[in-house]
């Protein structure tokens, strides 16, 4: 069995639609989220494209054997704070280290761009993502129960000092 070819690249036309589709499909199947989650992701992706600041923001697309299997975004929250968004890996591509590679790409870029802190918002049940964040030095700074995406959830805010 041959090793699968993986790479991270910048987005191309059509990739944002795939990022939205991947989130909508996977979160519905794996966690029972409704279509409002896909709408949230679509809004984030549209805002990224519309308001893109190349010196301060970046998106990485993860490919495996030429297929889009994941993404992550780094956006500007303030002149000193960046925000990691939309980290996702398709189940067929998990276990290859892509989530960690995407997260590390964000951290490297944020440091080079001069940010002092990176923040992110996640849900308590997303164990794999939370494990990556913790391993990379993020710390959970708050959590709050909420009802979103047709579910009762616990949102968490994590931070990394850069």
Say if 11 falls within a structural domain: yes
| Segment 117-130, tens digit of pLDDT | 999 999 999 999 99
Say if 30 falls within a structural domain: yes
CATH number for the domain spanning 148: value is 3.40.630.30
Cα–Cα distance for residue pair 92/121, rounded to 1 Å: 24
Give the total residue count for the chain: 162
Residue 3 pLDDT > 80: no
Cα–Cα distance for residue pair 28/88, rounded to 1 Å: 13
| Segment 13-64, tens digit of pLDDT | 999 999 999 999 999 999 999 999 999 999 999 999 999 999 999 999 999 9
Say if 1 falls within a structural domain: no
| Segment 75-95, tens digit of pLDDT | 999 999 999 999 999 999 999
Say if 109 falls within a structural domain: yes
Say if 149 falls within a structural domain: yes
Count of the separate structural domains present in the chain: 1
Residue 4 pLDDT > 90: no
Instruction: For helices 35-51 and 15-31, give the axis angle rounded to 10 degrees.
Output: 150
Find the domain containing 111 and state its range: 6-161
């Amino acid at each position: 069995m041959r090793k699968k070819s993986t790479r991270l690249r910048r987005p191309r036309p059509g990739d944002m639609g795939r990022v939205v589709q991947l989130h909508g499909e996977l979160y519905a199947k794996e966690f029972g989220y409704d279509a409002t989650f896909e709408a949230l992701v679509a809004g984030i992706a549209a805002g990224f494209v519309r308001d893109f600041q190349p010196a301060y923001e970046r998106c990485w697309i993860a490919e495996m054997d030429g297929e889009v299997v994941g993404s992550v975004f780094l956006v500007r929250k303030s002149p000193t704070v960046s925000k990691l968004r939309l980290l996702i890996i398709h189940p067929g591509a998990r276990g290859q280290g892509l989530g960690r590679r995407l997260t590390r790409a964000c951290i490297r870029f944020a440091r080079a761009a001069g940010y002092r802190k990176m923040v992110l918002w996640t849900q308590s049940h997303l164990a794999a993502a939370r494990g990556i964040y913790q391993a990379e030095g993020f710390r959970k700074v708050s959590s709050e129960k909420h009802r979103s995406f047709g579910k009762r959830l616990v949102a968490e805010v994590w931070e990394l000092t850069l």
